[in-house]
C-alpha cells in the first residue's frame, strides 16, 4: 500500500515543488484588489437606477466573481503559510 498523499502519475520530477514565494506574492497583490473590486462593484450596483447601463444584475455578478476570487486568494495564503510551517518543521 502506498502511504504517500499523492501518487506520481506523470513524468514530473520527484522533487517538483510549487513556487510558494511567487504564489504568495500574487495572492498578496490580488487579495486587496479583488476585495476593493467587490466593494466598489457592490456599491455601484446598489446605487444604479433601473434603467442605467450597465444594469444592476451584471454589476452584482461581477461583484460576486470578485468576492469569490478574494476568498480564493485568502485561502491560498493560508495554504502557503501551512506549507511553509511544514517545511520549517521538517528541517529541524
% of the chain residues with pLDDT over 70: 90
Instruction: Say if residue 20's pLDDT is above 50.
Output: yes
Rounded Cα distance between 59 and 51, Å, is: 13
The DSSP call for residue 53 is: S
Contact 18, 82 (CB under 8 A): no
Q: Between 58 and 12, name the one with better pLDDT.
A: 58
**pLDDT tens readout for residues 41-52:** 999 999 998 888
pTM of the model: 0.77
**pLDDT tens readout for residues 53-69:** 899 999 999 999 999 99
C-alpha 62 chain-centroid distance: 16
Q: What is the mean pLDDT of residues 16-36?
A: 92
Any residues with CB less than 8 A from the CB of 50 and at least 6 apart, and which? 56
Main-chain dihedrals φ then ψ at residue 65, nearest 5 degrees: -60, -45
Amino acid at each position: 500500500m502506498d502511504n504517500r498523499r499523492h501518487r506520481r502519475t506523470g513524468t514530473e520530477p520527484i522533487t517538483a515543488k510549487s513556487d510558494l514565494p511567487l504564489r504568495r506574492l500574487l495572492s498578496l497583490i490580488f487579495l486587496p484588489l479583488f476585495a476593493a473590486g467587490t466593494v466598489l462593484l457592490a456599491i455601484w450596483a446598489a446605487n444604479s437606477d433601473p434603467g442605467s447601463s450597465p444594469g444592476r444584475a451584471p454589476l452584482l455578478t461581477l461583484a460576486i466573481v470578485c468576492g469569490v476570487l478574494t476568498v480564493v486568494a485568502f485561502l491560498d495564503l493560508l495554504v502557503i503559510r501551512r506549507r511553509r510551517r511544514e517545511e520549517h518543521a521538517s528541517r529541524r
